[in-house]
Amino acid sequence: MHSIRPMDAPFGAEITGLDLNDAPDDLVFGEIVDALHAHGVLCIRDQRITPEAHIAFSRRFGALEVHVQSSFNLPGYPEIYRISNCVDENGKAEGLAEAGRVWHTDLAYLAEPSRCSLLYALEVPHDDAGRSLGATMFASTTLAYKALPEATKQRLQGLTAVQSYAYIYDNITAISKPGRQGLKPLNDEQKNKVPPVEHPLVVQHPHTSAPILFCSGGMTERIVEQTDGGALLRELCDHAIDPAFVYRHDWRVGDLLIWDNIQTQHLAVDDYWLPQRRRMQRTTVKGVAPKAA
């Protein structure tokens, strides 16, 4: 018997009592989808899932993306992207260690940003007292929009913003610490695969119709209609991550975390390194082109 319990946070919920190696029936899956829309982030605890089960469960939300950085896809399972600071016996990185170091929305740089992502924790780093490190912070873009002054909401009507993979890549490269994995500059093929896109600054959630503030400090390059040197965008991105709208996920091994990419943005906290190991596997579900709210 499973249960769904809201987190002690502005949003997010925990699900216990499910083993995703046994596919949930349609009724239970419907509850999970409703909970995702209601809470934005869901943590399904205590999983020991195979890559097949991770992919099969993820596919029920929609078709899966294959990440542009294919060298970090799990061999034999291109739909699974590895996020990890671990290296193999030859010193070769087993995953992208620097993923998500700045606030962003997964795949917002595509014409059809991701609907949701499902990140599974295989190994979690910890400090000497056993407290987990490498948390993921989430901010609710629904709560952020709701809290804007009415005059600002009016001002944002009709504005569009540029979301860019090259921009977030450069932002992460710029803060990468010496001695870390380091990111190679994007090659032309990778850049051409993902040119910048423009999306409305306030979008309508495709399932709940709620208005969403669709910009993030790491991935949104500029507001197309503004010539203010980026002041409005900075103000909005700072507002979006106000602690009143933030949930911090401290990982446990076996967590499968699902987040709604339209009503949240996130950041991976950089507070650990080898020999502390962090090993995660992510699937990313395709979404639809966002409509202006």
Establish if 285 lies at the interface with ligand SIN (CB under 6 A): no
- Helix (H) or strand (E) holding 150, with range, is helix 150-156
By rule CB under 6 A, what count of residues binds ligand SIN? 10
The 161-180 site mask, x for binding ligand SIN (CB under 6 A), equals --------------------
Four-CA torsion 17, 18, 24, 29, nearest 10 degrees: 80
Establish if 118 lies at the interface with ligand SIN (CB under 6 A): no
Q: What is the DSSP letter of 193?
A: H
Establish if 102 lies at the interface with ligand SIN (CB under 6 A): no
Query: In this complex, which beta carbon is closest to ligand SIN, that of residue 44 or of residue 268?
Result: 268
Which pair of tokens denotes residue 183?
A: 């990111």
Establish if 282 lies at the interface with ligand SIN (CB under 6 A): yes
Q: Tell me how far apart the alpha carbons of residues 68 and 191 are, in angstroms, rounded to a whole number.
A: 10
CA-based nearest residue to 35, from 65, 59, 66, 2: 2
DSSP assignments along 26-45, one per residue: HHHHHHHHHHHHHHSEEEE-
**What's the min distance (Å) between Cβ of 277 and ligand SIN?**
13
Q: Which residue has the tokens 């809470």?
A: 39
Contact 266, 103 (CB under 8 A): yes
Establish if 136 lies at the interface with ligand SIN (CB under 6 A): yes
Q: Tell me how far apart the alpha carbons of residues 142 and 212 are, in angstroms, rounded to a whole number.
A: 5
Answer for which of 268, 279, 285, 287 binds ligand SIN (CB under 6 A) is 268
Answer for which of 44, 55, 99, 202 binds ligand SIN (CB under 6 A) is 99
Piece of 69-77, 99-107, 140-148, 216-224 that binds ligand SIN (CB under 6 A): 99-107
Query: In this complex, which beta carbon is closest to ligand SIN, that of residue 134 or of residue 290?
Result: 134
**What's the min distance (Å) between Cβ of 82 and ligand SIN?**
10
Establish if 246 lies at the interface with ligand SIN (CB under 6 A): no
Q: Within positions 27 to 86, which residues make up the interface with ligand SIN, using CB under 6 A?
A: 83
Establish if 100 lies at the interface with ligand SIN (CB under 6 A): yes
Q: Tell me how far apart the alpha carbons of residues 54 and 20 are, in angstroms, rounded to a whole number.
A: 8
Residue showing the smallest CB distance to ligand SIN in the complex = 100
- Please return the burial class of 8, using the count of CB atoms within 10 Å of its CB with bins 0-12, 13-18 and 19+: exposed
The radius of gyration of the chain's CA atoms, rounded to the nearest angstrom, is 18
Applying CB under 6 A, the residues found at the interface with ligand SIN are 83, 99-100, 106, 117, 136, 266, 268, 280, 282
